[in-house]
Amino acid sequence: MQSLDEAARAVRGALGSRGRLTVLTGAGMSAESGVATFRGAGGLWEKHRLEDVATPEGFLRDPRLVLEFYNARRRQLRAVRPNAAHEALARLEGALVERLALITQNIDDLHERAGSRRILHMHGEILKARCVSCEAVLPWPGDITLEDACPACGDRLRPHVVWFGEMPFHLEEEIPRALEAEVFLAIGTSGTVYPAAGMAAEARLRGRLTVELNLDPSEQSHIFDHCVRGPAGTTVPAFVERILAEQP
Ligand code: BJW
Ligand code: ZN
């Protein structure tokens, strides 16, 4: 494990005045806001079988159970706020503008609420619903029920999220372009779910600088040039402050 100072110094060097930075966030980013992570003690997969609630087969078997799983999480999202880590990343976007790409695996809207504007939600967004037939995507702040129908074709609605076995979003253009950035920074992700888990290796293969900010060692920690341990609400603001201190 390396120090935050050392990692920030390396990032400043790699960025220079024109370099680009790509950030990948995971559930650990929203943990201090009170949003449950998936794996580990207290994680969502302790109480729910992922095969039941996060696969297309699970939805076909018992759509009511799956809708309720997401309805409960959507309701809970109303009670939480962005934390200092989300706010710091929004400040970083304010300073780097188009030099920053933010890829999130999170389906919550905490990056948006903190002020980030250009966000690639690769696993979808819980505040949207999608038609199972025609793929229409609709803003959906409330519960999705079995009775809700697509306004375009009348078929059933599902949460606009990516389940196991489904293709994540933005993989054709935006994410490959983002992975060309000089610096790849992963925050709060266990590195267990692909293709997100493979991004650090991909960036490293291209000779990019890779940094991980995570509470615990992840499945991908061995890949990164720098790993900093700690809660995102503390490490991310400190890291961003050090990067911005010397940005022109
Ligand atoms: C803190 C903290 C704090 C805590 N501060 N840190 C074998 C090899 C390769 C791939 C596969 C394979 N077998 C099957 C696959 C494919 C499969 C997969 O990866 N399976 C693995 C389990 C092996 N992947 C897929 O099916 C994906 N699609 C796909 O591959 O399509 C085909 C394709 C082919 C070729 C190219 C591209 C694509 C789809 C995956 C969809 C995942 N969906 C979910 C649910 C989304 C909706 C929802 O939210 O319900 O996404 S599963 C769940 O896991 C969710 C998350 O986004 C995702 C990642 O979790 P994350 O964010 O890492 O959270 P945690 O809980 O795991 O970790 C939190 C971390 O934070 C921990 O490390 C903590 O230490 C840390 N932490 N508090 C900082 N305060
Ligand atoms: Zn439809």
Our answer to whether residue 123 is catalytic in this structure is yes
Q: How far is CA 70 from the centre of its chain?
A: 17
Position 82 pLDDT exceeds 60: yes
- Average pLDDT value for residue range 29-38: 98
Structure confidence at residue 246 (pLDDT): 65
| pLDDT, mean over the chain | 97
Q: Model-level pTM? A: 0.97
Catalytic residue (one of 123, 160, 222, 226): 123
Mean pLDDT of 199-223: 97
Letter string b/e over residues 62-77, b meaning 16 or more CB atoms within 10 A of that residue's CB: ebeebbebbbebbeeb
Task: For residue 239, give Cα distances in angstroms to 3, 21, 111.
Answer: 10, 13, 17
Cα–Cα distance for residue pair 154/15, rounded to 1 Å: 50
Quote the ligand 1 centre to 192 CA distance (angstroms): 5
- pLDDT value at position 248? 53
Ligand 1 nearest atom to the CA of residue 216, by list position: 75
Mutate to test the pocket of ligand 1, among 37, 52, 130 (most ligand atoms within 8 A of CB): 37
**27: pLDDT strictly greater than 70:** yes
* Percent residues over pLDDT 90 in the chain: 96
What's the whole-number mean pLDDT along residues 41-57? 96
Per-residue pLDDT tens over the stretch 117-156: 999 999 999 999 999 999 999 999 999 999 999 999 999 9
> Strand order of the sheet with strand 124-131?
137-139, 124-131, 157-161
Instruction: Find the distance separating the first CA and the last CA of the chain, reported in whole Å.
Output: 29
Length of the chain: 248
Pair of tokens at residue 29: 């980013």
The pick from 193, 216, 218, 236 for probing ligand 1's pocket by mutation, whose C-beta has the most ligand atoms within 8 angstroms, reads 193
In angstroms, the CA 201 to CA 210 distance is 9
